[in-house]
Amino acid sequence: MKKTLLSMATLIALGFATPAAAHGDHRCMDDACTLQSLFAEDGKAGGDGIVSAQRYGTWGIDTDGMDRSVDPGNDFFAYVSGNWARNTPIPSDQSSYGSFRVLRDLSEARVRALVESYPKGDPATGGDAAKIATLYQNFMDEAAIEALGSKPLQPYLSEIGATADREALARLVASRGGFGGATFSLFVGDDQRDPDRYTLYLSQSGLGLGDREMYLRDNFAPQRERYLAYIAQMLELAGWENPQANAEAVLAFETKVADAHWTRAESRDRDKTYNPVALAEFDTVAPGFPWKAYFEALGVDHAKTVVVRQLSAVPKLAKVYGETDLGTLKAWQAFHAIDGTAPLLSSPFATAHYEFREKFLSGQPEPRERWKRGVSMVEASMGEAIGRDYVALYFPPDAKAKMDALVANVKVAMGARLDALDWMSDETKAEAHAKLAGFGLKIGHPDKWRDYSGFRVVDGDVFGNALRAREFEWEYRRARLGQQVDKDEWGMTPQTVNAYYNSVKNEIVFPAGILQPPFFDPDADPAVNYGGIGGVIGHEIIHGFDDQGRKSDGAGVLRDWWTAEDAAKFEAQAAKLGAQYESYEFRQLPDLRINGRNSMGENIGDLGGLTIALEAYRRSLGGKDAPVIDGFTGEQRFFMGWAQVWRTLWRDDALRQQLVNGTHSPGHIRAFAPLRNIDAWYDAFDVSEGDPLWIAPEERVRIW
């Protein structure tokens, strides 16, 4: 395959050039290209209390943002979004920017308007609104937080310092809902083998840098060096003894933990990550960790089994814990307690946290405004309570009706694609059709809402409220252990700009937050909607049939319903797709590539989702020719709608984090990578052999 040549617009998106260097000035595109044009008074609601979304052109595409001097077969990202990339700076309080971020900013501004409209009142008697107002206003009271310094944290650090042994330390951390560091992550979720019941899962954890690669690969030495300095800085700020020596011990400990971890790709494999272990057997299976005390303190000691996700890693982690000096474990716990709560503390802590986490690791030049951090904090604590009011203002009933129709059309298209597959046997097709028929659908918001009456909010106690929110959430999950699964529950709040597929419930979910331009505009050209939200719908449907989703059946049960021959054919095509993505080079990050195995499900989702969305669009025409709009055919507008959704600009450090820690390919790659395997894209834009994005027909990946 020929190397892809990248234009200046794509170099900007990759962070290799700045808009100022490439263009010299910053101009608005169409009716909105800055946050100020989206919101009244920098993100506040207008006089009617409503924060409005932007439109993209007159029929759904920001044609001013295109660069028509670029050949689509040379750089499709630049063709659709080249002028946008040249003229759009990444906001100084963000590490990347694009269509998702624009909508997240919009959602954030809407939530701010809601939160600031709530009267404070007494959080003990005033209901959800009073609790939310108290949480937010307390966080916004900088003077009070500055006056406290590290005092809110000190009792917890004292408890850590006073623990007499490893058992007491594990019990202490577990009793605080996981506050501080943890070599293991315990959570309650739908049982993959018994989808009607909740069960307990145990996963590897314990890394402050996020991924094992950051500890073990030579090219991340600068990140480790800066992390060491950050650990020492935080320990010193909190008054922990011998901060430098303890920081070195903490990093050495985490490096051993990293060495025991499975890779992210291994942790995706559902054939290997469902391993029930009886609670009584943990001391034998994984000696060295005080399991009994840990399970008791978390209140799950009545469970019969725990599903261990990384079975061979857990004994190694337990051994590392058991062999590590108690003083090092205490320092490790102390550091993570400080790091995890630093944004809630006085400026020395909050600034140090920003300087390392956002500025150094992700290249973000400035911290986010305090109101934005306050909105994130209250959403993390009481997101669904805010969501009730959000949907009343911003999710009209006709949007749901139009989404219902879109989803129905895409599902029909998926069924047609299944029938047309020449590589799949009738036996496997029958199972696939049964799974598709059983797909559940949730659009906009839940039909019933979370009850937050048990969450205690104390006026003036920012730090304590955050810990109580954590404990409230854990107790909510823990109490369901062994109970029947709530099929109506949502995994995202309505204001979230995202979507998901749940394999155990076999359902696709689209919160209200994503059902806006450029993803979905009820008044836009249907081709653009099919390329935008239709592609997203298809993507989520295909997650039920990607390299891991295909391992669960129509009832959500983890089982192999494929013939061996069909599975082998699927895996061969998936490997071919992974190799395509791993071939993309990033000029300022020459030592990094997309991890084809780790991002496999998302890449399959993009290719398959776009394929069935195109089929659905064609069917929606009812045999008639699509109109030509502004010189663009229907299928051209369809593919442009997809690419516009994936407008993304990156800072170098943020792109590095995405490549190492993320499961999705970078957005600017997603704008064109799946199209290279779809024949209709070549026909629509007259892409031919010799163009950099050309792939020979026989080499194109064809799965769904």
For residue 110, which of 408, 392, 410, 342 has the smallest C-alpha distance?
392
Which three-class secondary structure state does DSSP give residue 281?
helix
Under 8 Å between Cβ of 546 and 600: yes
Q: What pLDDT does residue 1 have?
A: 36
SS3 342: helix
pLDDT band at 178 (very low <50, low <70, confident <90, very high): low
> From residue 30, how far is each of 55, 62, 432, 502, 668 by CA, in Å?
9, 7, 44, 37, 21
pLDDT surpassing 70 at residue 3: no
Query: What CATH number has the domain spanning 166-324+331-343?
Result: 1.10.1380.10
- 539-589 pLDDT, tens digit per residue, is 999 999 999 999 999 999 999 999 999 999 999 999 999 999 999 999 889
Mean pLDDT for the chain? 91
Specify the pLDDT at position 379.
Answer: 97
Give pLDDT, residue 177: 66
| Residue among 22, 2, 3, 4 nearest 12 (CA) | 22
- Per-residue confidence at 49, pLDDT binned at 50, 70, 90? low
Query: Between the CA of residue 213 and those of 218, 224, 227, 318, 658, what are the distances in Å?
Result: 9, 11, 14, 20, 13
Contact (CB, 8 A) for 580 and 699: no
Adjacent-strand bridge partners of 650:
96
Whole-number pLDDT of residue 343: 96
Q: Output the pLDDT for position 688.
A: 97
At residue 614, the pLDDT reads 98
In this predicted model, what pLDDT tens digit does every residue of 608-624 receive, in sequence order? 999 999 999 999 999 99
Confidence band of 26 (pLDDT split at 50, 70, 90): very low
In this predicted model, which residue has the larger pLDDT, 51 or 26? 51
CATH of 401-446+490-699 given 3.40.50.720, 3.40.640.10, 3.40.718.10, 3.40.390.10: 3.40.390.10
Structural domain boundaries in the chain:
166-324+331-343, 401-446+490-699
Per cent of the chain over pLDDT 90 is 88
> What was the pLDDT predicted at 397?
84
Q: Write down the pLDDT at residue 33.
A: 29
| pLDDT for 523 beyond 70 | yes
- The residue ranges of DSSP E strands in 337-463, in sequence order, are 440-444
